[in-house]
Each structure stands twice: as structure tokens, then as C-alpha cells.
Amino acid sequence: MPRAPGFWQRDGVVPHLLAPLSALVAAATARRVARPGWHAPVPVLCCGNVTVGGAGKTTLVLDLAARFRAGGVAVHVLLRGYGGRVRGPHRVLPDDPAAEVGDEALLLAAVAPTWVGGDRAASARAAVAAGAELLLLDDGLQNPTLAKDLSLLVIDGGTGFGNGRVLPAGPLREPVAAGAARCGAAVLIGEDRTGALRHLPPRLPVLRARLVQDAAVAGLRGRRVLAFAGIAHPDKFFTPLAAAGAELVATRAFPDHHSYDAAELDRLLAEADRLAALPVTTPKDAVRLPGPVRARVTVVGVGLAWEDPAARDALLAPLLQGGTPCSTGSASAT
């Protein structure tokens, strides 16, 4: 995915000139999400956002999928499979190449049965036939093919909603108010550094969480590290490494979902050797590396630490009890 233009984070002449195109995009999205979707016979929970790029949806889905599984719920994950070639519906297998199913699908499949496909309803039917008791969508807030029982609006506290404009004038897929109206709650990941929460409906519940690195980071304290990442916001990986005590002698940022070629990997490993540094990357990058390279790289992942786990559990409980905490089907608002 190409890097976002700088003007998406601030208003100015270019966003103003692109505003007419943004109005067309917003109108087209509104027409699309108004279409009725298929109602699955099991609860459907969507973790989506209104911005392009990484807001933390997959991290949230990984967290929720693990919690549902630990509670004995047969949860299946659905996603488009960005960066992959499979059209689906396809159940992700451990040995599927990232180039076929996408990197995020492989991460999710390690936690729960995962299906990729652009038609969420088709994937949902396949998952239900395979025994799914709950469907968990990674993205799909703007996809109308499958009706949702609850949608969560995921917000990156560091980037928020950018300049607040719809594509191509800004990073929004649709106006904030339109997307939030179909959601039962928002999930803010990290500190709200841009004032994003003030753009939400006043009655929309907000759950707060922060990213925490996994145990692997402890082994990097005092070590020389060459960190590389092909994610939407590489600094969200680099900065915590340094805060954990790693000596970052070099950082290399690549576009989100970047497909590393052999020459790039040779250069990265050679540079790490030259600097007497440990090459370190993210789980999302690791699944895109060939086995011999992956064996030489240390992988540090992240999870979520919830400010109020009880509020999270109370919001999700009706899904597990056969209720509908919030009607967020494609054609309805809450």
C-alpha cells in the first residue's frame, strides 16, 4: 500500500480543491452501505474503521478472537485478505503463502479459523457450514454484503481521522458521523493525540486500550538492533523498541504489506551484520519472509491492554447470549 500523502493530516489548498471528488466518494459509499446484507444465523461482530491504513483492527480482532476461543466460543474470522490473490471464500491454511491470502490472514489463522474473500456473505456461509458460532470481521464496516449485529469503530489515537476529509482529499472512507452511526461503540487504541473523540456522537460508548509489546522485547534490552517494518505506521513499532531498552542503530521503513524481494533482504541482513546488530521485525512482516531469512530475524509482536475490561465484556456479552447489543446492519443506523 503506497504511503499516505502528507496533506491527509492537515487541511489546506489541495484538500479544498479535491473536495468535490470527496463528495462523490462519500455519496457512493452511502449508497453502497445502504444495501441490505445477508443475515447470518449466528452473531456477527465487525471491527472496522472509517480511515484507510492501519488503525489497529487486526490487533483488536486477534485479541477478541483469542478471548472468544478461550471462552469456548467457535469464532471464525472473516477478512478480504488484502495483498493476497485468493478471491475466496477460502479457509486459510498454515502453509498458505502470504502472497496468496495476505499477511494478516496468516496471523489470524494462528488464533482462530480464518476465511478470506471479498464477498463477506459468501465467506460467512462457508464459515457457518464449517461450524462457526460467531463471525468476527477484520474490516468490513463499509461492506454491505453481510449484516452486522455489532460494529466497533477502531480509532488509532496517534493519527485519528487526519484532516477529517473523505478520499481523495483526506484519509476517510466515509464521513466520521456516517460510519459511527452504524457502530455500537468505538475502540480508541492509544492516547487521543488528535482530538478524534470530539468528532464522535456524544452517546457512543468508547472503550480504551493501549498497545503492549510481547515478552520477546525483554530480550532486546541493551542489544544493538536493526529494526525494519512494512506496516502502516512503522514508528509504532520502532518507538516502543527503543523505550523498552533496545539500542536502535538503524531503522528501515517499508510500505504497508510490502513484498520483500531477495535483494532487499540480502541488504538488510548484510547491514545488520555490518552493524553487529540483531535484525528485528513485526509478526506481520515475518510471515512475508522466506524461511531461511525468518530464522535469522527476531520477531516482536503487540497485544492490547484494556483500560476497562469489564466494560468490554459487558458490551460483548449479549452476542454470546443470543441478543443483539446494537443493530448495525448495512441499512440501519444506531
Q: Is residue 326 part of a domain?
A: no
The residue-averaged pLDDT of 37-42 equals: 97
**Co-location of 191 and 263 in the same domain:** no
Enumerate residues 6+ apart whose C-beta is below 8 A from 48. 57, 137, 139, 140, 141, 142, 151, 152, 153, 154, 179, 183
What pLDDT, on the 0 to 100 scale, is given for residue 320?
Answer: 86
What proportion of the chain, given as a percentage, has pLDDT over 90? 89
**Phi/psi at 152 (nearest 5 deg)?**
-110, 130
**Co-location of 182 and 51 in the same domain:** yes
pLDDT band at 321 (very low <50, low <70, confident <90, very high): confident
Q: What would the pLDDT profile of 100-143 be if each residue is shown by its tens digit?
A: 999 999 999 999 999 999 999 999 999 999 999 999 999 999 99
If one counts every other C-beta atom within 10 angstroms of the C-beta of residue 178, the result is 18
Count of domains for the chain: 2
Query: What is the DSSP code string of 184-245?
Result: SEEEEES--SS-GGGGS-TTS-EEEEEEEE-GGGGGGTT-EEEEEE-SS-THHHHHHHHHTT
**Co-location of 207 and 223 in the same domain:** no
Asked, as a colleague might, if the bond just before 89 is cis with ω within 30 of 0, I would say yes
Q: Using CA atoms, how far apart are residues 54 and 98, in angstroms rounded to an integer?
A: 18
**Co-location of 204 and 254 in the same domain:** no
Q: What angle do CA 61, 67, 70 make, to 5 degrees?
A: 135
What pLDDT, on the 0 to 100 scale, is given for residue 325?
Answer: 62
The residue-averaged pLDDT of 180-200 equals: 97
Q: What would the pLDDT profile of 64-103 be if each residue is shown by its tens digit?
A: 999 999 999 999 999 999 889 998 899 999 999 999 999 9
**Co-location of 16 and 154 in the same domain:** yes
Task: Provide the CATH number for the domain around residue 277.
Answer: 3.40.50.2300
**Co-location of 182 and 229 in the same domain:** no
**pTM here?**
0.92
**Co-location of 37 and 161 in the same domain:** yes
**Co-location of 152 and 223 in the same domain:** no
Domain of residue 281 covers 215-300
pLDDT at 1 over 90: no
pLDDT at 333 over 80: no
Q: Using CA atoms, how far apart are residues 156 and 186, in angstroms rounded to an integer?
A: 11
**Co-location of 172 and 251 in the same domain:** no
**Co-location of 279 and 232 in the same domain:** yes
Q: What would the pLDDT profile of 201-249 be if each residue is shown by its tens digit?
A: 999 999 999 999 999 999 999 999 999 999 988 999 999 999 999 999 9
What pLDDT, on the 0 to 100 scale, is given for residue 211?
Answer: 95
The residue-averaged pLDDT of 172-199 equals: 97
**Co-location of 128 and 149 in the same domain:** yes
Q: How far is CA 15 from the centre of its chain?
A: 26
Q: Are 60 and 154 in contact (CB under 8 A)?
A: yes
Residue that has been written with the C-alpha cell 487541511 in this structure: 11
Q: Using CA atoms, how far apart are residues 37 and 141, in angstroms rounded to an integer?
A: 12
Q: What would the pLDDT profile of 258-278 be if each residue is shown by its tens digit?
A: 999 999 999 999 999 999 999
What pLDDT, on the 0 to 100 scale, is given for residue 323?
Answer: 57
In three-state secondary structure terms, 97 is coil
